[in-house]
Structure 1
Amino acid sequence: MISTVICGHFQSTIFFGKKEISSIASLIDGIPRSCDQDRDMITSLNWFLSLSDRWNTLPVVVLLHRDRNPFGALLLHGTKFGGVPIGTFRAGYLCGRGGVVGKTEAYSNIIEYGTEALIKSKFAHTVIVTCISQNNERPVSLDEGDRNSFARNWQFHETRSRLPLTGGMDGLLSRFSQKMRKNFRYYKKRAEIDIGCVFQPSLSSTQAISAVEQLQAVSVRSVKLKSALQRQRAIADQPGSFSMGLIDKSGDWVSYLSGWRQGKTCVVEWQLNHEDGNNASISMAMRHFFLEHEIANGMEEVIFLAGTTPIWSRVCEPQLCGEYLATPGGLKGKIVRGIYGFLHPNGKVSQLTRKHKVLLKSKYLASFAVLCGLNIVAGAGVCSCVL
């Protein structure tokens, strides 16, 4: 299904479902090239549609045109219940990547006009978009105008999923605490000496499947084998894909790591480990082998696409991540947010709604204090007892 909505200076065309989206694949994948940007495989349609299959969501693309020229696109996943979309859509990983296609300085426009078009189409009542802010600048919502049917707000938090590799191994280790440097070396040696681990820097398709089959059932976040193999195939289909792993002295797989390389950036999408309780951190050992390999091959940064553990996030670069919530305006929006508050009081919609209310209250009090201060200076003094 295809729907067209006019929002501001943009004509927004909404493509629902895999079949309709596939018909514009070349157009969407051509937008980054028209922006003089490197091809970002995180926002490629092949990867986006593979995620939809894996997550069992309805894929939706909102394509924005201005003056008949493609301006940008919003890539969304619609939540389904019993196979039926329920009107809730999300774009972007929690670390803020993968939801927006277009010029980086235009991300806020693409997000706001794209979500407005989706809500105006009446196929959505809630849209959440996460996006890394460029140069740590906070986007400002567009002018209200006559957009009373559209309620939205930005919230911001720090995210850490980008690890620079400049300066080689010495530069990397300089980011670590003394304790982490010690553990980083120690666990690699323990894995090699006690378990007899051997690093496999490039796995064949057969080896990758074998590693996933062995590890998916014994990893901390195990999933069904069918889902695990589907994920492995999706990564393998990405241009520049890689997979690597560790085998023990008996030939069994104890760690698996996969992703893809784009330019000088290495994207880590998945890591599976078999922690067998012998005080040798397989995960830490695998990271040591992996980072040594990437540095030796000239990679300049690593992106942990789905985020990473607290110990590793502390050595990653801090970046400002914006979370954008859009709902209908007026009574309908209040009902939608109220239902979320009742059914999912600790869910993302409820969290963002509460944060927005607190922000509005603090802004109101600040403005009120300034106003009262001006009155006091003028001699009115009417607010002194209130403050």
Structure 2
Amino acid sequence: MYSTVSVSSSSAVSSPAQSSNLHVMRGAFSILQMQSALKGLANRCIQPGAMDDLNFFLSRPQLRKKTPSLLSLSRNIQADAPDATVLLYEHHIAGRGTGIFATDDTTGRRTLVSRPSQRTLFALSACRHLLKRGAQCVLISFRHEEVAINTALGEQVLEDSRYSCRWASREREIAGYLPFEATLDMTLAKLGARTRNHLRYYRRRAENQLGCVFVPEVKISREDFIELNRISAYPVSDETAGWRYDSLGYMKAPLFCGLRDRDGRWLSLMGGRYYDCNFEMHWQINRTDMPEYSLATVMRAFHIEHEVQRGTRRMYVEGGTTHSMSHAFVPEKSTDLIVMRQSPIARMIPGMVKRFLPPENMLLQVLEDEAMSWHTVKRM
């Protein structure tokens, strides 16, 4: 079921949000109706690409157990001209909503969009609104320019007569992006000597022994794509592989490149998207029966050269990368804000999350972080 709800903001903090309306849209269909307005907001807030390709992000198979919810703040009574937005997902258990809302983007680049000076206030206001509507737990990861969230501000915004809660926040440093320079040599100079040597060595070896060539725009059937995934180093389910293939058609500027040998066999494929002169890598498929050729490294070597030649400025990796080149990525900050209702149900959430979510899930990691300093906000 899709719904749109509009309420007036009642934050006591002096800000432009005082006279604004907070709108809530649930479900992918409702959110996608705002795609154009959301992209415009992201550009105005110097967060280009943050709200592009929503059809891709909202269609992922793992979201079947979650309901996307978009909270938008607007000075107008209508929601079609937002001044700030936050995109969260409500977790389901046995097909029912749990009241647990969390981001799906650990980098914070695609979660909250607003002017930098208003991000903390809007994140806290969004948490307060969801708690008023019955939420038990809210986790928002976003880009925050301050050292830490001000405790007094958090208590002031979250205070309400309808609930008691506790909240905490933390700052994380993440590997943000690899900057591309005007030439390949200048770009590779940012990498460690060992990484540079590996990129060059494995590329030459693949070219000499396999007749390897780079294909910037791959043409492959869906069936062959799924079959290559099955024999790859880290295969996903056929359903997810099929979605990866289909979702390239959802994007405005998809990235789909690959490597072939002299016999025409596909050795490696890479998928992602372009936006604002940057590219974001979403996945890479490498044959598992040729480990001595380090195909992942060969692909990176060819692809970096290709992107430098086309004038790409930055390389992002969705979900991060364990490749050694990550040490050359420009570090960025991400803030995790978590708010928990003081209720019997909320006290059960850490155990529920540990049972149902994988270890790499951000909500589980935040709840198990013993360094978090929690603050209590009593009912007014």
- Cα pair 1:79 1:85 within 8 Å, conserved: yes
Mapping of residues 164-243 of structure 1, within 5 Å:
164-204=179-219, 207=220, 209=222, 212-243=225-256
SS of equivalent residue, structure 2 residue 120: helix
Q: How does 1:46-57 map to 2 (within 5 A)?
A: 46-51=55-60, 53-56=61-64, 57=66
Please say if residues 197 and 248 of structure 1, whose CA atoms lie closer than 8 Å, have aligned partners that are also in contact.
Answer: yes
Give the aligned residue type for 1:29: K
- Listed one character per residue, the Cα deviations across residues 233-265 of structure 1 (whole Å, up to 9, x for unaligned) are 223321121211011233221111122222221
- How far is the alpha carbon of 1:215 from its aligned partner? 2.2
**1:324 CA drift (Å):** 1.7
Q: Which has the higher contact order (CA 8 A, sep 6+)?
A: 2
Contact 2:255–2:271 (CA under 8 A) maintained in structure 1: yes
Identify if the C-alpha distance between structure 1 residues 227 and 143 changes in structure 2 by more than 3 Å, giving closer, same or farther: closer
Give me the whole-angstrom Cα distance separating, in 1, the residues matched to 2:371 and 2:48.
39
CA distance in 2: counterparts of 1:269 and 1:350, whole angstroms: 23
Output the amino acid matched with 2:116: T
Alignment of 1:328-347 (within 5 A): 328=341, 330-332=342-344, 335-337=347-349, 339-340=351-352, 343=355
Shift of 1:42: 4.9
The answer as to 2:111 corresponding to 1:99 is yes
Q: CA deviation at 1:36?
A: 6.0
Tell me the amino acid that sits aligned with residue 81 of structure 1.
I
- Calculate the TM-score normalised by the size of structure 2: 0.82
Find the aligned partners of 1:236 and 1:334 in 2 and give their Cα distance: 40
CA RMSD of superposed structures (Å): 2.9
CA–CA distance in structure 2, aligned partners of residues 180 and 26 of structure 1: 41
Structure 2 letter corresponding to 1:335 = R
Give the superposition deviation at 1:104: 3.5
Cα 1:151–1:360 shift into 2, 3 Å: closer
- Structure 2 distance, partners of 1:341, 1:217, is 30
Report the residue type matching 1:327 in the other structure. Answer: M
Q: How many residues align?
A: 354
Distance 2:260 2:215 in 1: 8
Inter-CA distance 176–210: structure 2 relative to 1 (3 Å threshold): farther
1:150, 1:11 → 2: CA distance? Answer: 23
Measure how far apart 1:61 and its partner are.
Answer: 0.8
Residue 3 of structure 1: which of 2, 5, 19 is its match?
A: 5
Q: Within 5 Å, which residues of 2 pair with 1:1-387?
A: 1-5=3-7, 6-8=9-11, 9=18, 10-33=20-43, 35=44, 37=46, 39-40=48-49, 42-51=51-60, 53-56=61-64, 57-66=66-75, 68=77, 70-122=82-134, 124-134=135-145, 137-140=147-150, 142-145=153-156, 146-147=159-160, 149-204=164-219, 207=220, 209=222, 212-328=225-341, 330-332=342-344, 335-337=347-349, 339-340=351-352, 343=355, 348-349=362-363, 351-353=365-367, 355=369, 359=373
Gaps of 5+ in 2: 12-17, 376-380
Structure 1 unaligned spans of 5+: 362-387
Q: Secondary structure at the match of 1:275?
A: coil
**C-alpha displacement at 1:81, in angstroms?**
2.7
CA distance in 2, matches of 1:351, 1:13: 30
Q: 1:209 to 1:338 in 2, by over 3 A?
A: closer
% identity of equivalent residues: 21
C-alpha distance in structure 2 between counterparts of 1:91 and 1:343, whole Å: 19
Which protein shows a greater Rg?
A: 1
- Taking the aligned partners of 1:184 and 1:313, their CA distance within structure 2 comes to 14
How far apart, in 2, do the equivalents of 1:36 and 1:324 lie? 20
SS in 1 for 2:59: helix
